[in-house]
Amino acid sequence: MTTATTTVHDRYPTRLTEAAPMMRRPDPTVWGEADGPFTPEQVAAYDAKGFHIQDGLLTPAQVQSCWTEFTRLAADREVAASGAVVRERDSDAVRSIFAVHRHSPVIDALARTPRILDRARQILGSEVYIHQSRINAMPGMVGTGFGWHSDFETWHAEDGLPAPRTVSLSIALTDNFPFNGGLMLMPGAHRVFVPCIGETPDANFRESLQEQTIGVPSDEAVTELGLEFGIEQFTGPAGDALFFDANSMHASSNNITPFSRANVFLVFNSVENAPAAPFGGRTPRPSHIADRDTTPLTPLRSTEFA
Amino acid sequence: MTTATTTVHDRYPTRLTEAAPMMRRPDPTVWGEADGPFTPEQVAAYDAKGFHIQDGLLTPAQVQSCWTEFTRLAADREVAASGAVVRERDSDAVRSIFAVHRHSPVIDALARTPRILDRARQILGSEVYIHQSRINAMPGMVGTGFGWHSDFETWHAEDGLPAPRTVSLSIALTDNFPFNGGLMLMPGAHRVFVPCIGETPDANFRESLQEQTIGVPSDEAVTELGLEFGIEQFTGPAGDALFFDANSMHASSNNITPFSRANVFLVFNSVENAPAAPFGGRTPRPSHIADRDTTPLTPLRSTEFA
């Protein structure tokens, strides 16, 4: 009798016991050459920088619908009981609500709006589904930031996404000023994968969604990348949107102003990049944080989200 | 026998035991109508907003001289022994060096440079001296911010300055980006005095220079002022400078970028506003934090600081 074993080669090793050098990522940023809403110049810039800012993606009325949904979900006991609500570490203020595309028909429709869905398909060169969705409130005065990190590092280690074939979309629901904790990105650093040190604790997400300490690059790596690539910031009025690569190196500072900085956040993953077993952890994270249902999103009929 | 007592009426009561309403300040912002380097339009804007940004106040070579002085003073054992060096709370990184005009001939000359000194005299309508000077390093990655506060509140309560007849100058020694902890100000809020709650502890400055907890406005006051006045930020390349009123409501966020944000900071007080006994504390702060020698600054001869 023989035992057949399958070995999955991990091209993005992380959560290591000792330091490993940064590496050029083996995968592309733009997958294929599909046509879509992005112009060729926008696609080229996305490829080079790892992100694209789309002014006025939502109208004020659409922003208001999303905001109304946030308010509703933040007060919904079933949503809270599902574990989808994360609060600030030092206050009861709502920091994030997860799986908003599951809990809200408005957000579900938003994700399937052609001008959004077709952009994700264009970059990823395939059908897509939602790996994660959330609304981040970043409340005024008490909002704490997110240190420098690559989302893909966590999605690979803890959720089992094989490759960074993923586009994230952050839509401003309130004005994003330069000074209220706006997202900072290092243009071009998405092409560099930074292996991180430290084993993943069980149920790490309970801590990491408030303050991430595992799966974060060293200060030395951040300094090196910062000096090589510089920093740009996503700022703009409510309705503006940022599309960015899963491996973008990004961070946000605390918000000590009275102006909240709320954003809706949708992560589109390619159906050809379905989650496997976690590469750096034991148990996949719960489905409200990392959805494992890879059913492709169907485009919205034009009447559903005016 | 009679005892003569002098009662000093405190027009800016603070460090109170119970909440008191914010008040319109009884003193002007611009004292007199002296001519000087500021144009009438700049003076009017300073009067209305409580600050003025002067692009390119220092040349790159002058910036470099100040930076060299910072490096020298940060390593000087006598300076450290004098208590003038404040370190970050969670690291050994130098946060501030005080009394730099006493320890450095370069900074002393800088303060007496006519294009600087004459601006301070113009706003304050009198001879001036240095109440406080320092260099803030705001080191990359570890620099922690300063919460919302009015400098005058502390200078009145802990140093005994009777009125906000004081101009502060912050000169960028490194580029001040929007995202590396740059100073935020509320334009117009300098006309509002916010009484603060809480008795001043002895030697409060030992804590407050790392993180101020006494003499700070409530979150409610900050929110109210923020909604009324909005927020502007001082950004610009090294050499740009900010003149601002002693009672400006200002703050800075943490610096989680790899780019340090160092500034030299000079506080000019009118000789007609000499420090009295502290209005909200017992013992005046040490002279390296609050100088009580009100000898007027003499203008630099043109050859001293090229």
Mean pLDDT of B183-192: 98
The residue behind tokens 């949904």 is: A69
Of residues B33 and B97, more confidence is placed in: B97
Please state, as a whole number, how many other Cβ atoms lie within 10 Å of the Cβ of residue A133. 26
Q: For chains A and B, count residue pairs whose Cβ atoms are closer than 8 Å.
A: 68
B105-145 pLDDT, tens digit each: 999 999 999 999 999 999 999 999 999 999 988 777 777 78
Q: Is residue B284 part of a domain?
A: no
A16-68 pLDDT, tens digit each: 999 899 999 999 999 988 899 999 999 999 999 999 999 999 999 999 999 99
Whole-number mean pLDDT of chain A? 91
Q: Is residue A39 part of a domain?
A: no
Find, among A286, A264, A275, the residue nearest to A57 by Cα.
Answer: A264
Residue A40 contacts B, CB cutoff 8 Å: no
Q: What are φ and ψ of residue B191, in 5° steps?
A: -85, -5
pLDDT value, residue A303: 57
Q: In which band, very low, low, confident or very high, does the pLDDT at B306 lie, cut at 50, 70 and 90? A: very low
Of B141, B233, B257, the CB nearest to A231: B257
Query: In chain A, how many domains are there?
Result: 1
The CATH number of the domain holding residue A106 is: 2.60.120.620
> Distance (Å, rounded) from C-alpha B302 to C-alpha B266?
20
Q: How far is A230 from chain B (nearest CA, A)?
A: 9
A286-301 pLDDT, tens digit each: 999 999 999 999 998 7
Q: Is the pLDDT of residue B39 over 50?
A: yes
Mean pLDDT of B35-59: 96
Mean pLDDT of A202-211: 72
Q: What are φ and ψ of residue B197, in 5° steps?
A: -95, 145
Q: Is residue A114 part of a domain?
A: yes
Residues spanned by the domain of B265 = 51-273
Minimal-distance CA residue of chain A relative to B250 = A257
Beta carbons of B140 and A223 less than 8 Å apart: yes
> Counting beta carbons within 10 angstroms of the beta carbon of residue A126, is it exposed (0 to 12), middle (13 to 18) or buried (19 or more)?
middle
Beta carbons of A226 and B178 less than 8 Å apart: no
Residue A88 contacts B, CB cutoff 8 Å: no
What are the C-alpha distances in Å from B220 to residues B22, B49, B152?
11, 21, 20
pLDDT value, residue B1: 46
Q: Is the pLDDT of residue A306 over 50?
A: no
- Answer positive or negative: Cα dihedral of B18, B22, B28, B30: positive
Please state, as a whole number, how many other Cβ atoms lie within 10 Å of the Cβ of residue A134. 23
Find, among B246, B212, B183, the residue nearest to B53 by Cα.
Answer: B183
> Distance (Å, rounded) from C-alpha B194 to C-alpha B186?
13
- Answer positive or negative: Cα dihedral of B108, B109, B115, B117: positive
> Distance (Å, rounded) from C-alpha B95 to C-alpha B143?
7
pLDDT value, residue A202: 78
Q: In which band, very low, low, confident or very high, does the pLDDT at B90 lie, cut at 50, 70 and 90? A: confident
Whole-number mean pLDDT of chain B? 91
Q: Is residue A170 part of a domain?
A: yes
Minimal-distance CA residue of chain B relative to A220 = B258
Find, among B136, B237, B223, the residue nearest to B178 by Cα.
Answer: B237
Of A182, A226, A256, the CB nearest to B258: A226
A1-16 pLDDT, tens digit each: 455 555 668 999 999 9
Q: In which band, very low, low, confident or very high, does the pLDDT at B281 lie, cut at 50, 70 and 90? A: confident
B101 and B171 Cβ atoms separated by less than 8 Å = no
Q: Is the pLDDT of residue A176 over 60?
A: yes
Q: Letter for the amino acid at B148?
A: W
Q: What are φ and ψ of residue A176, in 5° steps?
A: -100, 100
Residue B16 contacts A, CB cutoff 8 Å: no
Q: How far is B253 from chain A (nearest CA, A)?
A: 7
The tokens for A118 are 């077709």
Residue B147 contacts A, CB cutoff 8 Å: yes
Q: Is residue B91 part of a domain?
A: yes
Of A141, A235, A255, the CB nearest to B219: A141
β partners of residue A135: A97, A264
Beta carbons of A253 and B254 less than 8 Å apart: yes
> Distance (Å, rounded) from C-alpha B190 to C-alpha A87?
34
> Distance (Å, rounded) from C-alpha A86 to C-alpha B128?
53
pLDDT value, residue B94: 85
Residue A177 contacts B, CB cutoff 8 Å: yes
Residue B295 contacts A, CB cutoff 8 Å: no
pLDDT value, residue B5: 55
Beta carbons of A184 and B184 less than 8 Å apart: no
> Distance (Å, rounded) from C-alpha A133 to C-alpha A189?
24
Beta carbons of B231 and A257 less than 8 Å apart: yes
Residue A212 contacts B, CB cutoff 8 Å: no
Q: In which band, very low, low, confident or very high, does the pLDDT at B101 lie, cut at 50, 70 and 90? A: very high
Of A140, A179, A251, the CB nearest to B253: A179
Residue B218 contacts A, CB cutoff 8 Å: no
Quick one: residue A209, left, alpha or beta (phi over 0 = left, psi -120 to 50 = alpha)?
Answer: alpha
Q: Rounded to 10 degrees, what is the CA torsion of A242, A15, A22, B92? A: 90
Find, among B152, B175, B172, the residue nearest to B164 by Cα.
Answer: B152
A232-278 pLDDT, tens digit each: 999 999 999 999 999 999 999 888 999 988 999 999 999 999 999 99
Please state, as a whole number, how many other Cβ atoms lie within 10 Å of the Cβ of residue A181. 28
Q: Is residue B29 part of a domain?
A: no
Residue numbers in A near B219 (CB within 8 A): 141
Q: Letter for the amino acid at B119?
A: R
Residue B105 contacts by C-beta under 8 Å, 6 or more apart in sequence? none
Beta carbons of B147 and A256 less than 8 Å apart: yes
Q: Is residue A229 part of a domain?
A: yes
Residue A19 contacts B, CB cutoff 8 Å: no
Q: What is the ipTM of this complex?
A: 0.80
> Distance (Å, rounded) from C-alpha B229 to C-alpha A182?
20
Q: Is residue B295 part of a domain?
A: no
Q: What are φ and ψ of residue B249, in 5° steps?
A: -85, 115
Residue B234 contacts A, CB cutoff 8 Å: no
Residue A270 contacts B, CB cutoff 8 Å: no
Residue B276 contacts by C-beta under 8 Å, 6 or more apart in sequence? B8, B160, B161, B162
The tokens for B170 are 């912050």
Mean pLDDT of B46-62: 96
Q: In what order do the strands lie in the sheet with B249-252?
A: B146-150, B249-252, B184-185, B232-233
Helix intervals (H) in chain B: 40-49, 60-74, 77-81, 100-103, 105-112, 114-124, 151-154, 205-208, 219-229
A40 and A133 Cβ atoms separated by less than 8 Å = no
* SS3 category, A291: coil
B127 and B288 Cβ atoms separated by less than 8 Å = no
Alpha carbon of residue B206 to chain centroid: 17
Alpha carbon of residue A121 to chain centroid: 16
Looking at mean pLDDT, say which of A203-217, B190-204, B264-278 comes out highest: B264-278
Of B222, B254, B258, the CB nearest to A222: B258
Q: How far is A293 from chain B (nearest CA, A)?
A: 36
- Answer positive or negative: Cα dihedral of A80, A83, A84, A86: positive
Of A140, A147, A231, the CB nearest to B179: A231
What are the C-alpha distances in Å from B53 to residues A206, B45, B111, B146, B235?
45, 10, 17, 20, 9
How far from each other are the two terminal CA atoms of chain A, in whole angstroms?
62
Residue B228 contacts A, CB cutoff 8 Å: no
Looking at mean pLDDT, say which of A81-90, A134-143, B252-261 comes out highest: B252-261
The residue behind tokens 């390093």 is: B137
The residue behind tokens 């409501």 is: B249
The tokens for A165 are 């074939």
Mean pLDDT of B205-224: 83
